[in-house]
Amino acid sequence: MIYTKQTNKALNLCYEAHAGQFDKSGVPYVFHPFHVAEQMDDEKSVIVALLHDVVEDTDKTLDDLRKAGFDDAVIEAVCLLTHDKAVPYMDYVRAIKKNPLATKVKLADLRHNMDSSRMVADPTKEDEARLEKYKQAEQILLSEAAETGNKSEDKPESKLEDAVFGLAIADALGVPYEFKMRDTFQCTKMTGYGTHHQPAGTWSDDTSMTIATAKSIKDNDGAINIEDIRNNFLDWVNNDAFTADGEVFDIGNATRDALYSGEPRTDDRSNGNGSLMRILPLAFTDCTDDEIRAVSAITHGHETSMRACVIYVHVARRLLNGETIAEIIPTLQSKKPFDRLYKLYQLSIDEIKSSGYVVDTLEAALWCLAKNQNFKDTVLAAVNLGGDTDTVGAVAGGLAGIIYGLQEDFAKDCMETLRNKELIRECI
């Protein structure tokens, strides 16, 4: 925590105001604002974090804070963070997102409220509903950040291009090596032929379905239209639309069956990565978790596949919001089968699988982001894990594009080789 005269004043006021209060698990409540304050990186946000519940949960007033000498920016943020119970909760959250200082504190507040270590042992339906409410609130705040950007002067359109081309580059890097075992090859640059006998720079179904999704979002002014996305997928599989060279040469079994039948695959054995690989464009919209799940369920309707898509979109939004992957990964505490995500930094390469199982793909992609510090090393690490090389690469590459952009010489060289860039640009 940052210690100054003003933060010390806020610390004392917070301690006195919350004295005798306890959270739902019986811990002194004051530890909550203390924890939120410890996540802040400047004096003003530390003050607001310490005071964010003082007016709502104690007898202190905004006038008391003014008299204590806190400035207008602090007062405004605390006012926005004080929930008037007559105001619907999500309306209150949407008001917060107009203020960057209040948003920063509220995101940290929500994440601590969702921390599994603070949960009661046997949550009630009310507790579960409250957790869902917090997740929805976080989503609203992060979607705003994705629209406006943060810590970066890049426009959202620029970041979307970096993300989709980052995905396409990594996809194309992986195409020649798909299904090859780890340590039996070494990808160092764009190359051709191999598994699918395609020219260098050719991208596969990962990119095709991603740009088909992006095209629908673009055509619908940012809205999610499930039938339109499905129709784009059908145009791809039936008419070779959205392809690098006018040919569909790679399609997963679950995807094919779902598109031809009109029904998603929902059995346990249909948890491939076919929806995860194409979900990234949704991070650039304000869609809800239910809409993310519905887009996944065009082909992959099992709970595991849909949860993977929600997690991935949230990670992308947090990156767009300016968080680092090092900040994000330790917070990814989730129930099985995603219970290893938060400790990916601790895992060795031998503990990482790179199969087509959606959990393996998500873990592998995030592990590569965690272990590398530039675009080149991240996407090459993903491909060189072997197995489902194009999709693990694509899932990692999209996020790497958000983080690093495509200004490295390696990325520029790959862009030169990448096929049908014009189509990708038209779709995004």
φ/ψ (deg, to 5) at 357 = -65, 130
Non-local (6+) Cβ contacts of 209 within 8 A are 233, 236, 242, 255, 274, 277, 278
pLDDT in tens, the chain (428 residues): 799 999 999 999 999 999 999 987 788 999 999 999 999 989 999 999 999 999 999 999 999 999 999 999 999 999 999 998 878 888 889 889 888 999 999 999 999 988 866 666 677 888 788 888 888 888 888 864 434 333 334 555 689 999 999 999 999 999 999 999 999 999 999 998 989 899 999 999 999 999 999 999 999 999 999 999 999 999 999 999 999 999 998 888 899 999 999 999 999 888 999 999 999 999 999 999 999 999 999 999 999 999 999 999 999 999 998 888 888 888 887 889 999 998 898 889 999 999 999 999 999 999 999 989 899 999 999 999 999 999 999 999 999 999 999 999 999 999 999 999 999 999 99
The pLDDT, as a whole number, for residue 120 is 61
Listed by start position, the domains of the chain span 5-148, 156-427
pLDDT for position 157: 66
**Is the full-model pTM beyond 0.75?**
no
**Tokens found for residue 379:** 């996407």
Residues listed for the chain: 428
d(CA 72, CA 104): 17
CATH superfamily of 5-148: Hypothetical protein af1432 (1.10.3210.10)
Q: Kindly report the number of other CB atoms within 10 A of residue 122's CB atom.
A: 6
| Cβ–Cβ under 8 Å, residues 203 and 419 | yes
pLDDT of residue 121: 66
* CA–CA distance, 382 with 389 (Å, rounded to integer): 7
Q: What pLDDT sits at residue 158?
A: 80
Q: How far is CA 50 from CA 7, 88, 109, 114, in A?
A: 8, 24, 10, 18
Q: Which residues contact 281 (CB under 8 A, 6 or more apart)?
A: 160, 164, 210, 213, 214, 217, 428
272, β-bridge pairs: 357
d(CA 396, CA 363): 10
For the domain with range 156-427, which CATH number is right: 3.30.70.120, 3.40.50.300, 1.10.4080.10, 1.25.40.340? 1.10.4080.10
85, 66 contact by CB (below 8 A):
no
For residue 216, give the DSSP letter. Answer: H
Query: What angle do helix axes 156-174 and 389-404 make, rounded to 10 degrees?
Result: 150
Six-digit token string for 387: 């197995």
Instruction: Please give the structure tokens belonging to residue 210.
Output: 């991603």
- Longest CA–CA span in the chain (Å) reads 74
Dump the DSSP string for 173-187.
HHGGGTTPPTTS---
Q: What is the pLDDT of residue 110?
A: 93
Q: Which residue has the tokens 């990594």?
A: 170
DSSP conformational letter for 267 = S
- What pLDDT, on the 0 to 100 scale, is given for residue 119? 65
The angle subtended at Cα 281 by Cα 278 and Cα 287, nearest 5°, is 115
